[in-house]
Amino acid sequence: MNRVSVILLCLTTLVVFFILRKQPELDIQKYEDQIDALQSEIYLLEGVNDSLQVEAALLNDKIVEYDIKIDKLNNEIDVIQDETRKKLDSVDRYNRDQLQKFFTERYRAINSLLE
């Protein structure tokens, strides 16, 4: 026999050996079940994430509303402080009756705000 025949015989023998050799069985079903379980968990978490995003958007809207209310209240406070400052600045020009009226109205307004 020549060399080529020997090499071909060896290669053929190796190929037949690998074909006939029993392949180890893999437990594919186990891995597929794990993949399915993980996929179900992913879908569940995506649903939870979507609901949390909706809730976050609603809370952001409320924050914007509260910011607007706070700005309005701050503006009202500024106006009240300015008016009070003007009244206090002019108090030294009041006579006795005007002073009594001023303090009566001032404390009446403060009491109504506290109630």
**Res. 61 pLDDT band, cuts 50 70 90:** very high
User: Is the residue at 73 inside a domain?
Assistant: yes
User: Is the residue at 81 inside a domain?
Assistant: yes
Give residue-wise pLDDT tens across range 62-96. Answer: 999 999 999 999 999 999 999 888 877 776 777 78
Query: Domains in the chain: how many in total?
Result: 1
User: Is the residue at 43 inside a domain?
Assistant: no
Domain assignment of residue 87, given as a range:
69-115
The pLDDT assigned to 43 comes to: 95
User: Is the residue at 17 inside a domain?
Assistant: no
User: Is the residue at 84 inside a domain?
Assistant: yes
> Backbone phi, then psi, for 95, in 5-degree steps?
-90, -175
Helices (H), 21-95: 28-89
DSSP state of 104: H
| pLDDT of 37 above 80 | yes
94: left (phi over 0), alpha (psi -120 to 50) or beta: beta
Report the mean per-residue pLDDT for the chain.
85
User: Is the residue at 91 inside a domain?
Assistant: yes
| pLDDT of 11 above 90 | no
User: Is the residue at 34 inside a domain?
Assistant: no
User: Is the residue at 94 inside a domain?
Assistant: yes
